[in-house]
Structure formats: structure tokens, C-alpha cells
């Protein structure tokens, strides 16, 4: 990333507050150094920063525009990284999910009391000894139903 600097004739340091045209020129100059696909985004990001925190000097405006460009590059790089790391195909095949649902429905139809108890038991955080014994009993019933 290159750092855009003010033109050589521009005053550096405690310069006067730049007006609309000055800010627009700075934002467009910095945007021109960006990738061609991101120029409009860099310009808009620079203006967003100008509106959020109005610069007090031209040097501040240059710094804000450069920071807008750099932060936009970082966001784009992060989004590209996340997109590339995302799996392109589902890890579980749809047939396996449908088959699992069908087997659960079949179990619930054959042994409704046992199935309901086991689902309730799974969703509880704490289990008493009696609940554990009942869960063991109902698991055996569900295995027998299969």
C-alpha cells in the first residue's frame, strides 16, 4: 500500500481547514491510488470519515483518507479470507439427514413414551438418579423397537 502525500505545493502542518472542494480533491486523489474496483468505495469511505470526524487540517484530511483506503483494503482482505475458508459443499449429505429424520419419526411412532422421555432427558441440565435409571430403561426399549 502506498501512502498518498499532499502535492508539493500544498501547505503542510497547521494549514487552514479544507473546504468541500479541498476534501473532495483529497478523497479523489487517494481513491485514484486504490485498486480500480475499489476507487468508488475508497472515496465514499473517506467521505464517511470526514463526516463522522471533520478534519481540522489538510494533513488530517490526508491521513483520514489514507486510513479509509487502508481499512477498506483490510476489510476486503478479511472478507475474501472468510469466503475462501467457507466450505463449498455441505459436510452432511441430504440423504443422510432425511434418513435420520425418518428413523426418528419411526421410533417416536413405535415407542412414544420412551421417545418423549429421552428427548426431555437430553434437554435437562441436571439429572437425578431416578431419571438416569428411567433413561437407561427407555434406551433399552428404544433399541428393542428398532
0.75 exceeded by pTM: no
Per-residue pLDDT at 33: 93
Going from the C-alpha of 59 to that of each of 12, 27, 109, 141, the distances in angstroms are: 6, 12, 74, 77
Q: What is the DSSP letter of 125?
A: S
Going from the C-alpha of 22 to that of each of 56, 57, 58, 97, 100, the distances in angstroms are: 12, 11, 8, 61, 65
Per-residue pLDDT at 23: 93
List the pLDDT tens digit at each of the 146 positions of the chain. Answer: 566 666 555 555 556 778 899 999 999 999 999 989 889 999 999 999 999 999 999 999 999 999 999 999 999 988 888 777 766 666 667 777 777 778 777 777 777 777 777 777 777 767 777 777 777 777 777 777 66
Determine contact, residues 58/26, Cβ cutoff 8 Å. yes
Task: Return the residue matching grid coordinates 428398532.
Answer: 146
Per-residue pLDDT at 14: 52
Per-residue pLDDT at 126: 74
Amino acid at each position: 500500500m502506498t501512502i498518498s502525500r499532499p502535492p508539493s505545493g500544498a501547505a503542510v502542518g497547521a494549514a487552514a481547514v479544507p473546504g468541500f472542494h479541498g476534501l473532495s480533491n483529497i478523497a479523489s486523489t487517494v481513491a485514484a491510488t486504490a485498486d480500480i474496483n475499489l476507487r468508488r468505495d475508497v472515496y465514499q469511505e473517506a467521505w464517511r470519515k470526514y463526516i463522522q470526524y471533520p478534519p481540522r487540517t489538510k494533513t488530517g484530511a490526508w491521513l483520514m483518507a489514507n486510513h479509509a483506503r487502508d481499512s477498506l483494503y483490510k476489510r476486503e482482505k478479511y472478507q475474501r479470507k472468510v469466503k475462501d475458508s467457507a466450505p463449498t459443499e455441505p459436510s452432511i449429505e441430504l440423504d443422510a439427514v432425511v434418513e435420520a429424520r425418518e428413523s426418528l419419526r419411526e421410533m417416536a411412532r413405535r415407542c412414544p413414551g420412551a421417545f418423549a422421555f429421552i428427548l426431555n432427558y437430553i434437554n435437562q441440565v441436571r439429572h437425578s438418579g431416578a431419571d438416569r435409571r428411567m433413561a437407561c430403561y427407555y434406551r433399552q426399549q428404544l433399541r428393542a423397537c428398532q
